[in-house]
Homo-oligomer: A and B are copies of this chain.
Amino acid sequence: MYDRVTLIGCGLIGSSIAHAVKRHGLAKHVGIVEKTDILDRVRALDVAHDVTDDAAKAVRDADLVIICTPQSAYAAIAETIGRHLKTGATLTDVGSVKKAAIDALQPHLRNEVHLVPGHPIAGTENSGPEAGFAELFADRWVILTPLAHRGGAYDAAAQKLGEFWQAMGSKIATMPPDHHDRVLAMTSHLPHLIAYTIVDTCVKLEDSMQQEVIAYSASGFRDFTRIAASDPTMWRDIFLNNKDAVLDGLQRFIEDLMELQKAIRWDDGQKLFDVFTKTRAVRRSIIDQRQHIPEENKRKD
Contact of A275 among B188, B200, B219 (CB under 8 A): B200
Contact of A197 among B221, B260, B282 (CB under 8 A): B260
Interface of A is mostly: helix
Q: Kindly state the separation between the CA atoms of A229 and B253 in the bound complex, as whole angstroms.
A: 18
Q: How far is the CB of A296 from chain B (nearest CB, A)?
A: 11
A76 contact set on B, CB distance < 8 A: none
Number of copies of this protein chain within its complex = 2
Q: How far is the CB of A4 from chain B (nearest CB, A)?
A: 31
Contact of A200 among B243, B246, B279 (CB under 8 A): B279
Determine whether the beta carbon of A123 is less than 8 Å from that of B184.
no
Determine whether the beta carbon of B272 is less than 8 Å from that of A201.
no
Q: Is A173 an interface residue (CB 8 A)?
A: yes
A165 contact set on B, CB distance < 8 A: none
Determine whether the beta carbon of A256 is less than 8 Å from that of B190.
no
Determine whether the beta carbon of A214 is less than 8 Å from that of B282.
yes
Q: Which residues of A226-243 are within 8 A (CB) of B?
A: 226-230, 232-233, 235-237, 239-240, 243
Q: Kindly state the separation between the CA atoms of A200 and B201 in the bound complex, as whole angstroms.
A: 22
| B-contact 0/1 string along A174-204, CB 8 Å cutoff | 0000000011101110111111111111111
Closest B residue to A212 by beta carbon equals B183
Determine whether the beta carbon of B240 is less than 8 Å from that of A272.
yes
Q: How far is the CB of A93 from chain B (nearest CB, A)?
A: 17
Q: Kindly state the separation between the CA atoms of A256 and B197 in the bound complex, as whole angstroms.
A: 6
Contact of A225 among B173, B213, B283 (CB under 8 A): B283
Determine whether the beta carbon of A227 is less than 8 Å from that of B220.
yes
Q: Kindly state the separation between the CA atoms of A212 and B278 in the bound complex, as whole angstroms.
A: 18
One of A36-44, A53-61, A101-109, A262-270 contacting the partner: A262-270
Q: Is A148 an interface residue (CB 8 A)?
A: no
Q: How far is the CB of A301 from chain B (nearest CB, A)?
A: 5
Q: Which residues of A200-224 are within 8 A (CB) of B?
A: 200-205, 209, 212-224
Q: Is A143 an interface residue (CB 8 A)?
A: yes
| B-contact 0/1 string along A35-73, CB 8 Å cutoff | 000000000000000000000000000000000000010
Determine whether the beta carbon of A184 is less than 8 Å from that of B216.
yes
Determine whether the beta carbon of B272 is less than 8 Å from that of A236.
yes
A261 contact set on B, CB distance < 8 A: 247, 250
With A72-B269, A186-B221, A254-B254 given, name 10 new contacts (CB 8 A).
A173-B216, A184-B218, A187-B221, A194-B198, A196-B260, A201-B249, A222-B301, A236-B276, A237-B269, A239-B272
| Interface of A toward B, CB cutoff 8 Å | 72, 121-125, 141, 143, 173, 182-184, 186-188, 190-205, 209, 212-230, 232-233, 235-237, 239-240, 243, 246-247, 249-250, 252-254, 256-257, 260-261, 264-265, 267, 269, 272-273, 275-280, 282-286, 289, 299, 301
**The 7 residue pairs across chains A and B that have the minimum distance between CB atoms:** A191-B220, A229-B283, A232-B276, A199-B279, A228-B279, A188-B218, A187-B221
